[in-house]
A = this chain, B = another copy of it.
Amino acid sequence: MSQQQLHSSNTTHQAPFTTSDKEYVVGADIGGTNLRLALADMTGTIVAKWSVSTVGIRDAHIVIGLIRDGVEHLLQQASAPRSSLRAIAAGAPGVTDVNEGIVIATSYLMGWREVPLRALLESALGVPAAVDNDVNIAAIGENWAGAARGTRDFVFLAIGTGIGAGIVLNGRLFRGNGWTAGEIGYMLVPGTPEEPVERGKPGALEDIVGGEGVKAQWQNLWRENSTTLPRDATATQIFDHALDGNPLAQAILQKSARTLAYAIYNISLILNCPLFVLGGGVGMHSGLCDATRKILEQRGTRAQPQLVHSTLGADAQLMGAIRLALDTADSRLSLSS
């Protein structure tokens, strides 16, 4: 109330900041199971979060509707008018043409093909939008505010159901000629099956390292008398069980760690990359990170990349999306000025 009075009595153009003067951006993390949004101020500080299930939702227009609802909700939560929104950026779980703002293809979970996500967001929200692959966006987040802060060359490895890499070279994301750089799920290392895999099916590497692959290995090895863990355990439960000393689970953890170490070793040779950041639901498990680091260390000095955890965890993508939204707001500002 007193602020309102102060405001109205102010005769200069430089009004003191009230809540309604603040500007915001939205970062969005579009996933096959959840849609997560965060509202941040122009310093990148998150002021509100919102999420909703996307299980069973495939239609991009429905996802856009959910995002619009979520943005309204976030602005209300922050008592901010619609006009205070400056930009939005979204990470999508698929191959994304950043220049055109189009999600070229996602996995079978979403089934998107050639979705003009940027244009849909801009028309739904009336603000500039940017889109990128979700793993790339998580790498931006770790580079801005996480485990790779200030690093010019690193690889972010997201291990969840499958595995993907966000590659930062010379301080910039490297997305590749056809936007698929870092799609390493099909990589071949000692121990992976050599048979070609049908497109859309899990690749050789994620079959061993990814969450679904870990679960499948457990189901194959599982015997009622050899464990207290159920046959349908999750990857992180299986890795916990390994740390508790169960030999079956330890064998699976070791195989995953060895396979992951070989993949990291190969990438570090090719790119001469000194830092790898492990993220994603499965990648965040300390047992996997520790076992993988030990195997890398045994390989000697030729390529000895540092292996660390994501420090942003599940927020890496949201933070990256916020960073991208801030950049988008800035670039549109400089274009119009």
Contact = CB atoms under 8 A, between A and B. Distances in A.
Interface string A48-72: 0000000000000000000000000
Given A177-B152, A181-B272, A186 B267 contact: no
Given A176-B153, A302-B186, A266 B266 contact: yes
A302 B199 contact: yes
Interface stretch (A77-85, A106-114, A190-198, A228-236): A190-198
Interface string A154-179: 00000000000101011000111111
Contact of A272 (B177, B187, B271, B301): B177
A25 interface: no
Given A198-B300, A300-B199, A266 B176 contact: no
Nearest to A265: B188
B196 A272 contact: no
A271 B174 CA distance: 8
A303 interface: yes
A299 interface: yes
Contacts of A177: 152-153, 272-274
A300 B174 contact: no
Nearest to A297: B196
Contacts of A302: 186, 197, 199, 203
A24 interface: no
A184 interface: yes
A24 to B, nearest CB: 33
A181 B271 contact: yes
Contacts of A271: 174, 176, 181, 270
A180 B299 contact: no
Interface of A is mostly: loop
Interface in A269-285: 269-274
A298 interface: yes
Contacts of A188: 189-190, 262, 265-266
B153 A270 contact: no
A315 interface: no
Contacts of A192: 190
Given A188-B265, A190-B189, A269-B187, A169 B174 contact: yes
A181 B299 contact: no
A56 to B, nearest CB: 27
A203 to B, nearest CB: 8
A183 interface: yes
User: Among the interface residues A192, A196, A270, A274, which one has the most CB atoms of the partner chain B within 10 A?
Assistant: A270
Nearest to A201: B302
A136 B300 CA distance: 25
A182 interface: yes
22 contacts: A152-B177, A176-B272, A176-B273, A177-B272, A178-B272, A178-B274, A179-B272, A183-B272, A184-B270, A186-B269, A187-B270, A188-B190, A188-B262, A189-B190, A190-B190, A196-B298, A196-B300, A199-B300, A199-B301, A266-B270, A267-B270, A270-B271
